[in-house]
Structure 1
Amino acid sequence: MSKFGTLVMGPAGAGKTTFCTALINHLRLNKRSCFYINLDPAAEDFAYEPDLDIKDLISLEDVMEEMGLGPNGGLIYCFEFLLENLDFLSEAIEPLSEEYLIIIDMPGQIELYTHIPVVPTLTQHLTRGGALNVNLCAAYLLESTFVIDRAKFFAGTLSAMSAMLLLEIPHINILSKMSLLKGSVPKRELRRFIDPDSSLLDDDPSTVDRTIASSEESEADPLSTESMMAGRSFKKLNQAVARLIDDFSMVSFLQLDAQDEDSVGAILSYIDDAIQYHEAQEPREPNDEIQDWEDTAMS
């Protein structure tokens, strides 16, 4: 029997746990079952208590204290320990029926997705090629405020593409925290970032401003940090990254406002399509639909 889930990823501060909370709330309002798994061994506060928490197996704080490791090294150790104890996941997931959406909240260190094979090994265990037969979709969040600095936006987009290629599972990319851009970026301009291409760098106002500032400072100190970071080499690097993303034509973004129920519902519909959730559900009798409507109205 198939199971269904989404792996919520992205850099630190992208709003992954906030999105998971909004997703759980939306599912509950629509009377859908979900199973929430926290795989961030440093996470502390949750709006909804996880059904399964990696800290019940191992915590980052204990690893740092006992092993003398830093945060990044400790996090990698936690995931290597998880891979040695996959029964911790299997025993919790195996009893779940196909009605559940398994929501897996991941940590924000992107090296787990792009540099080392820890997360790919985990997804292989979870998906059809592994033991649990989960139809899994990756949801990669990138903070929407990155669009203000286009070099940063393309760096984040490259990380999203790298995770997509490495994990080899259905993948959607999400610009989170859209409410932060209201009034600062016109909607017409924002639409250009949904399907990013290298032309975004051609009229980047921040690049123009930095280049002017750099040319002024370089007269006094051509080796200054500002001159080097805003000069021709930095611009060529950004253009090369943008062209690489252009050549693959794999990355496009959905927009998310976690406070907007319609926005969360739209993201969920893309996840459902990617994992073919509705195709596996049994047809419902008309009386069941009426009963659900009455229950909702009474509540």
Structure 2
Amino acid sequence: MSKFGVLVMGPAGAGKTTFCSALIQNLRNNKRSCFYVNLDPAAEDFAYEPDLDIKDLISLEDVMEEMGLGPNGGLIYCFEFLLENLDFITEPLDPLTEEYLIIIDMPGQIELYTHIPILPTLVKHLTRTGALNVNLCAAYLLESTFVVDRAKYFAGTLSAMSAMIMLEVPHVNILSKMDLVKGTVGKRTLKRFLDPDTSLLDDDPEQTVTGLGDDTVEEGDPSSKGAMMGGASFKRLNRAVAQLIDDFSMVSFLQLDAQDEDSVGAILSYIDDAIQFHEAQEPREPDDEVDLYGDDDDAE
């Protein structure tokens, strides 16, 4: 029997837990069942109490104190410990029926999604190749305020593409916190960021070559002070990253305002399509059958 789930990922501060809470509220409003899993061993505050919380197995605070590790090293240790104790996830999820949407809230350290093979191992355990047979979709959140800094925007887009390649599951990329850019970025401008391409750098005022006094920065001199973060070298780096993203043409974004129920519902519909949720649901009989013709005598 198939199960269905969404893995909510993204850098710290992207609004993952807020998005999970909005999803849960939307599902409840539509009388749908969900199962909330928190896999962030440092998370503390939740609008909805998780049905399964990794802190019941291991917490980042305890690991840092007992092992003498920093936050990033401690987080990796927590996930390695989780992979050694996968029954912690398997046993609660195994009885769930196909009517449930499993929402998995991940931590914000992006190295888990980009170059460390921990998360791919967990995903394989959850999906069809593993024991639980979960139709899984990844939702990668990127804060919409990144669009005002195009270098940061392309770096975030590159991390989303890296996660797509690493995990090899259906993927939905989301620009979150849209309420923060309303009135700051025009709708037409914002629409251009939904499908990243190199043309976004052509009219970026921050990507012009800067000068130092009367001496302009030479295009071929990456050691120049003015070329470090705002000049020729930085411009070439950003264009190379943007070109790589454009060449693969894998990443496009949906817009999310977690305070807007219609916006959350639209994202949920994309997730449902990605995991083919509705196709697996059994048709239901109506509660009351209505006789359109009335009694047999009247019908005659």
- TM-score over 0.5 (shorter chain): yes
Instruction: Tell me how far apart the structure 1 counterparts of residues 253 and 80 of structure 2 sit (CA, whole Å).
Output: 31
Correspondence 1:56 to 2:56: yes
Q: How does 1:35-114 map to 2 (within 5 A)?
A: 35-114=35-114
Instruction: Tell me how far apart the structure 2 counterparts of residues 49 and 267 of structure 1 sit (CA, whole Å).
Output: 22
The question of whether the paired residues in 1 share the 8 Å contact of 2:227 and 2:234 is answered with: no
Aligned to 1:241: 241
Instruction: Tell me how far apart the structure 1 counterparts of residues 214 and 10 of structure 2 sit (CA, whole Å).
Output: 36
Structure 1 residue matching 2:5: 3-state secondary structure: strand
> Quick one: which amino acid aligns to residue 198 of structure 2?
S
Aligned to 2:262: 262
The question of whether the paired residues in 1 share the 8 Å contact of 2:212 and 2:226 is answered with: no
Aligned to 1:143: 143
Percent sequence identity is 80
Query: Higher helix fraction: Structure 1 or Structure 2?
Result: 1
Aligned to 1:282: 282
Q: How many corresponding residue pairs?
A: 286
Q: How does 1:1-299 map to 2 (within 5 A)?
A: 1-208=1-208, 211-212=209-210, 215-216=211-212, 219=215, 227-287=227-287
Instruction: Tell me how far apart the structure 1 counterparts of residues 156 and 225 of structure 2 sit (CA, whole Å).
Output: 22
Give the drift of 1:77: 0.1
> Quick one: which amino acid aligns to residue 187 of structure 1?
K
The question of whether the paired residues in 1 share the 8 Å contact of 2:36 and 2:104 is answered with: yes
Q: What are structure 2's unaligned runs of at least 5 residues? A: 291-300
The question of whether the paired residues in 2 share the 8 Å contact of 1:217 and 1:227 is answered with: no
Per the normalisation by structure 1, the TM-score is 0.92
Structure 1 residue matching 2:229: 3-state secondary structure: helix
> Quick one: which amino acid aligns to residue 212 of structure 2?
E
What is the CA deviation profile of residues 186-223 of structure 1, one whole-angstrom value per residue up to 9, with x for unaligned ones? 00000001111001001112323xx43xx136859996
Q: Which moved more, 1:239-248 or 1:281-290?
A: 281-290
> Quick one: which amino acid aligns to residue 130 of structure 1?
G
> Quick one: which amino acid aligns to residue 195 of structure 2?
D
Instruction: Tell me how far apart the structure 2 counterparts of residues 97 and 226 of structure 1 sit (CA, whole Å).
Output: 59
Instruction: Tell me how far apart the structure 2 counterparts of residues 70 and 59 of structure 1 sit (CA, whole Å).
Output: 13
CA RMSD of aligned residues (A): 1.9
Give the drift of 1:287: 1.8
The question of whether the paired residues in 2 share the 8 Å contact of 1:258 and 1:264 is answered with: yes
The question of whether the paired residues in 2 share the 8 Å contact of 1:35 and 1:103 is answered with: yes
Q: What are structure 1's unaligned runs of at least 5 residues? A: 291-299
The question of whether the paired residues in 1 share the 8 Å contact of 2:227 and 2:233 is answered with: no
Give the drift of 1:139: 0.1
Looking at CA atoms only, which structure, 1 or 2, has the larger radius of gyration?
Answer: 2
Structure 2 residue matching 1:36: 3-state secondary structure: strand
> Quick one: which amino acid aligns to residue 239 of structure 2?
Q
Instruction: Tell me how far apart the structure 1 counterparts of residues 288 and 196 of structure 2 sit (CA, whole Å).
Output: 44
Instruction: Tell me how far apart the structure 1 counterparts of residues 231 and 181 of structure 2 sit (CA, whole Å).
Output: 28
Structure 2 residue matching 1:5: 3-state secondary structure: strand
Instruction: Tell me how far apart the structure 2 counterparts of residues 78 and 109 of structure 1 sit (CA, whole Å).
Output: 13
Give the drift of 1:4: 0.1
